[in-house]
Structure 1
Amino acid sequence: MKNIITSEIANLPTRFGKFKVKAYKDECQEHLAIMSEDFFDLENPYVRIHSECLTGDTMGSLKCDCSNQLDLALKLISKNGGLVVYHRQEGRNIGLVNKINAYKLQDEGYDTIEANLKLGFKEDERDYSAVAFILKDLKLSKIQLITNNPSKIDFVEELGIEITQRIPAVTSINKYNKDYIETKKEEMGHLF
């Protein structure tokens, strides 16, 4: 990854607890490392790679489980120590406009994968090179990964980072996200 600009580390008190934050800017987007106060003292921190979801993370959308997964991770790292990498690639990196267009297709009966494909995208367009830079910058060699996504497990292992434990990011299912979660499980191999 070339031309990544980083910020200094600053304090960020939140409703989940006190954290340290560091921002990273690549050619296209800005990403955030949200660390527990004791992060640099930990040998095997909890880590979540959280892909941006404006509708879920900021507006509490019930169409997905993103906000619930982010809340779960922030609570866990506040209590036990660790890191959330906030990966700014909205809608599996199709962008907000296309994500809303995908929502419209989902309203018409398409599942989350079919909607992306109908719009001319792959089921998942994310590029994790900025995340690789962040994990290397923070000198991680072994972690406890908070995820349901097998692609994220493979990505971390390909970096040579040891995953000592996978922590499921299982949250509540409702009538609006039931089909979405089922599609992630059945079609994308997510581990619940």
Structure 2
Amino acid sequence: MTYLSSVKGVSMGSNVAPTTVRTRLRIPLRFDDGYAVDAEAVTFTGLVDGLEHLALVLGDPAGAEVPLVRLHSECLTGDVFGSARCDCGPQLREATERIAGVGGYLLYLRQEGRGIGLYSKLDAYALQDTGLDTFAANTALGLPEDGRDYTAAAQMLTALGVGTIDLLSNNPDKAEQLIAHHIQIRHRLRTGVFANSTNIRYLQAKVDKQGHQITLAS
């Protein structure tokens, strides 16, 4: 497949070499609540953005009618340190178990802070503490509200031989970008709602500003 351009502006020339699988290896995954599962980690050569994205193969995708897929953007504060400012850590934990149960792929994308990087994300956090929401804080820093581009995710799926998926996501932009890159989506499944007193404004901003399908208690 030739990628001509991404929805968010990564230029793809016609002579770009195809993405291929670089390495496969089994790794055990362990979560703080005791849940554990083995996954096959897959790395790639030829991703358009040059970042070290990772695919985790969970369960038996070959045995599934259509594999379940989640595009999960890296969040050091939430995934590793358990920050309650977002819902990333709980979403990662939930997605791992749900995908393992039916067979599919978790694409762990190195797009910290919606693509703005760790330091800029923490700068944005400081602005959020003054009253700005997550998107307004990014804009105040002169950065895009959401700079993530999912061209590489489509390349990863294509390299894995996956053309049709069930997508585990509340974010309509993920679906739109994958479809633009010829990944067929049979069903969109919502993630759970992981609201707390710290992240409720963050979740509400995702609903209000970008149309995320999250049902919050009124």
Q: Report the TM-score range of the alignment, normalised by the length of the smaller protein.
A: over 0.9
Alignment-derived partner of residue 23 in structure 1: 43
Larger Rg: 2
CA distance in 1, matches of 2:129, 2:59: 42
Alignment-derived partner of residue 74 in structure 1: 96
AA aligned opposite 2:168: I
Alignment-derived partner of residue 82 in structure 2: 60
Alignment-derived partner of residue 115 in structure 1: 137
CA contact (8 A) 2:55 2:106 kept: yes
Of 146, 150, 168 in structure 1, the residue corresponding to residue 168 of structure 2 is 146
Of 45, 54, 58 in structure 2, the residue corresponding to residue 32 of structure 1 is 54
CA distance in 1, matches of 2:172, 2:133: 20
Alignment-derived partner of residue 6 in structure 2: none
User: How far off is 1:37 after superposition?
Assistant: 4.2
Of 72, 81, 98 in structure 2, the residue corresponding to residue 50 of structure 1 is 72
User: How far off is 1:6 after superposition?
Assistant: 4.3
Structure with higher helix content: 1
AA aligned opposite 1:39: P
Between the two proteins, what is the percent identity of the paired residues? 40
Alignment-derived partner of residue 159 in structure 1: 181
What is the TM-score of this pair, normalised by structure 1? 0.93
AA aligned opposite 1:45: P
AA aligned opposite 1:20: E
AA aligned opposite 1:144: D
User: How far off is 1:166 after superposition?
Assistant: 1.1
User: How far off is 1:128 after superposition?
Assistant: 1.7
AA aligned opposite 2:44: Y
Which 5+ residue runs of structure 2 have no aligned equivalent? 1-11, 31-35
CA distance in 2, matches of 1:77, 1:29: 24
Greater Cα offset, 125-134 or 105-114: 125-134
What is the TM-score of this pair, normalised by structure 2? 0.82
Alignment-derived partner of residue 170 in structure 1: 192
CA contact (8 A) 1:11 1:18 kept: yes
AA aligned opposite 1:32: L
CA contact (8 A) 2:21 2:159 kept: no
Alignment-derived partner of residue 10 in structure 1: 25
AA aligned opposite 2:160: L
Which 5+ residue runs of structure 1 have no aligned equivalent? none
CA distance in 2, matches of 1:132, 1:163: 12
CA distance in 2, matches of 1:67, 1:171: 12
Query: Cα RMSD (Å) of the superposition?
Result: 1.7
